[in-house]
Amino acid sequence: MNKERPKGERRGLVLVYTGDGKGKTTAALGLVLRALGRGFRPRIFQFMKHERAAFGEHRALEKLGVPIEGLGDGFSWRSRDLEKSAELARAGWQRAAAAIASGDWDLVVLDEVTYPLRFGWIPVTEVVETLRARPRHVHVVLTGRDAPAQLVALADTVTEMKKIKHAYDAGVPAQKGMEH
């Protein structure tokens, strides 16, 4: 053991799950489960999910009393109204930023937030400032491909989920309860 490491210091972490592999959102959900078990209050914002999304995780989290909000319009690459998608993302970010700043939530998940960042819909500097200014006990988990360098620099822990192989490439369709 390194004696110089501080012992028992309690402080919120910034975690980033990025990369092209599976497991980014599910790892964030697993953290929510772990946090719940410790009596923490988690809250989830999903930037690319429709507000009426009802995947497996939504049903389970509802039962557990964890707020999970879809902030998007079910955006897809075929979306015809990108300006509307951008507006929704900006409005959603205001809600998420307020939740982080409030200190009312021990863990805030910003699921798939890297996409609106990459699209330029939300300024990276604004997210970085909000994370820097957050109450000390608040953990924030950010997920999505291609996490911006500023975010990686600020984060305490960054994992790249790298796709080695994926069932879909072999012709297996997405399985309910596993992928949605």
* Interface with a second copy in residues 32-71 (CB under 8 A): 32-40, 55-61, 63-64
CB of 172 to a second copy, least distance (A): 6
| Nearest residue (CB) to a second copy, 15 versus 99 | 15
| Nearest residue (CB) to a second copy, 88 versus 142 | 142
| By the rule CB under 8 A, 172 interacts with a second copy | yes
Count of Cβ atoms closer than 10 Å to residue 126 Cβ: 14
| Nearest residue (CB) to a second copy, 9 versus 83 | 9
Structure tokens at 169: 């490439």
Pairing label, strands 68-72, 42-50: parallel
- Of the candidate spans 5-13, 78-86, 87-95, 126-134, the one that interacts with a second copy by CB under 8 A turns out to be 5-13
Q: Torsions phi, psi of 8, nearest 5? A: 70, 10
How far from 55 is each of 115, 118, 137, 178, 180, CA to CA, in Å? Answer: 20, 25, 30, 10, 5
Please state, in angstroms and rounded to a whole number, the distance separating the CA atoms of residues 123 and 133.
16
Size of the site for a second copy (CB under 8 A): 71
Pairing label, strands 139-143, 14-18: parallel
Computed over its alpha carbons, how large is the radius of gyration of the chain? 17
| By the rule CB under 8 A, 163 interacts with a second copy | yes
From 95, 103, 146, 162, residue interacting with a second copy (rule: CB under 8 A) = 162
CB of 177 to a second copy, least distance (A): 4
